[in-house]
Amino acid sequence: MKSKTVFTSIIAVAAITLGGITAASAESTLEIVQKRGHVRCQVGPPSAGYYNLDAEGSWYGLDVQVCRAVAAAIFGDKDKLEIQSVSSQMRFTALANGESDLLSRTATWTMSRDTQLGIDFLQPNFYDGQGFTVHKDSGITSALQLKGAKVCVTSGTTTELNLIDYSRVNDLNISVVTFEDFNVRDETYLNGGCDSTTGDKSSMAGNMAAFPVPADHVILPETISKEPLASAVRHGDSEWRDIVSWAIFAMINAEELGVTSANVEDLRANSDNVNIRRMLGVESNLHEGLGLDKDWAYNIIKQVGNYGENYEAFMGSGELGIGISREGTPNALWTKGGLMYSPPMR
């Protein structure tokens, strides 16, 4: 089954029927997904590195790979998947009301979101921070020089709130100019409607690469926020939370153990490493606690790859990557000083 592309409008998301909500509450998410035959996974409007569309209309990116990993774990087929592109303003509503099974889209894990929206955040798959882009010929070299500036920002995001806080704390009197669509935000900035644009640094790097003359712009050195970007599921379904969480952990654990999409088949057949054998379903019964087949993690690594493979492909120096190095950052494995860490799979 080829992954479907669905652009979900605000009206369509809001119009979920009472009958659908009632049905969702009567069955577990896993049961609904298995009966439907595919996972409904929510991303945002195309964003380089995380979720983007190729010439044939198929989605790719680091966050899309989380969606594919969950599909591979459940069905043994990474393409049993429906990708939904939802606006920032409606993303959490679409997840909480059952329109989406899973959110995997540059969403920052915050306390209020985790405790007040009826959703649960999982292991971050990218650690980021907010910064500012300016025209190089502006002469601005620090965010503290933005006093009185007009700054473009996407509405309905932590980015907007962080900008307001930063302006207030530093007495910058920044004029906040909001947009629902980051493409319109960037176009306004490029046409002189704003002095700067702000967002997660990784996203800005990807967007800037598509500017007519990327070298005419610079990302300022300040990082003004913590942005742990994480997948999320509906609150109250621990079975589904376990499945999505351990799909992500399996990718991280596989990188730590040196298991890749290229060698996973050989290691499953020949490895003496008990940790690898357990993860790949050769020994023990880890799959039973998830309600999945014993090959669930093998299918993820074989079809989707480990975390490092996907980082390199979409965020790093791969053909589709946006050139962000992991070295010395929180996105490195914990064994290399980073925060990418999986609990023991035993």
The reported pLDDT for the residue numbered 13 is 40
Is 100 a domain residue?
Answer: yes
- The angle formed by the CA atoms of residues 156, 207 and 84, to the nearest 5 degrees, is 55
Same domain, yes or no, for 274 and 134?
Answer: no
Long-range contacts of 254-258 (CB under 8 A, 24+ apart): 254/279, 254/297, 254/300, 254/301, 254/306, 254/307, 255/306, 255/307, 255/308, 255/309, 255/333, 255/340, 256/333, 256/335, 256/342
Residue 26 pLDDT greater than 80, yes or no: no
Residue 325 pLDDT greater than 50, yes or no: yes
Is 86 a domain residue?
Answer: yes
Distances from the Cα of 159 to the Cαs of 8, 95, 103, 107, in angstroms? 23, 20, 18, 11
Is 249 a domain residue?
Answer: yes
Q: Last residue of some domain: 193, 225, 257?
A: 225
The reported pLDDT for the residue numbered 3 is 52
> Which pLDDT tens digit goes with each residue over 59-70?
999 999 999 999
DSSP-assigned letters across all residues of 262-273 = TTHHHHHHH---
Residue 314 identity (one-letter amino acid): F
Question: How confident is the prediction for the chain on average, in pLDDT?
Answer: 91
Is 342 a domain residue?
Answer: no
Same domain, yes or no, for 188 and 120?
Answer: no
Same domain, yes or no, for 30 and 98?
Answer: yes
Same domain, yes or no, for 117 and 141?
Answer: no
Residue 6 pLDDT greater than 70, yes or no: no
The total number of structural domains in the chain stands at: 2
What is the C-alpha separation between 114 and 109, in angstroms, rounded? Answer: 7
Tokens 């965020």 correspond to: 315
Same domain, yes or no, for 203 and 176?
Answer: yes
What SS3 class is residue 40? strand
Is 341 a domain residue?
Answer: no
Our CA dihedral for 115, 120, 123, 129, rounded to 10 degrees, sits at -50
What is the C-alpha separation between 79 and 265, in angstroms, rounded? Answer: 20
- Percent of the chain at pLDDT above 90? 84
Instruction: Mean pLDDT check: name the lowest of 5-19, 170-184, 325-339.
Output: 5-19
The better pLDDT of the pair 111, 8 is held by: 111
Same domain, yes or no, for 219 and 144?
Answer: yes
Pair of tokens at residue 9: 């409008």
Same domain, yes or no, for 212 and 149?
Answer: yes
Same domain, yes or no, for 122 and 134?
Answer: no
Same domain, yes or no, for 198 and 331?
Answer: no
Same domain, yes or no, for 242 and 118?
Answer: yes
- Percent of the chain at pLDDT above 70? 93
Is 345 a domain residue?
Answer: no
> Which pLDDT tens digit goes with each residue over 223-262?
999 999 999 999 999 999 999 999 999 999 999 999 999 9
Going by pLDDT thresholds of 50, 70 and 90, the confidence category of residue 18 is very low
- Do the beta carbons of residue 285 and residue 273 sit within 8 Å? no
Pair of tokens at residue 276: 């690898």
Same domain, yes or no, for 29 and 164?
Answer: no
Same domain, yes or no, for 250 and 183?
Answer: no
> Which pLDDT tens digit goes with each residue over 102-150?
999 999 999 999 999 999 999 999 999 999 999 999 999 999 999 999 9
Its domain, for residue 239, covers 4-127+228-336
- Do the beta carbons of residue 297 and residue 291 sit within 8 Å? no
Is 346 a domain residue?
Answer: no
What SS3 class is residue 170? coil
Residue 23 pLDDT greater than 60, yes or no: no
Is 307 a domain residue?
Answer: yes
305, β-bridge pairs: none
The enclosing domain of 279 has a CATH number of 3.40.190.10
Q: Last residue of some domain: 202, 225, 248?
A: 225
pTM of the entire structure? 0.85
Q: Last residue of some domain: 225, 244, 276?
A: 225
The reported pLDDT for the residue numbered 206 is 83
Our CA dihedral for 182, 185, 187, 191, rounded to 10 degrees, sits at -170
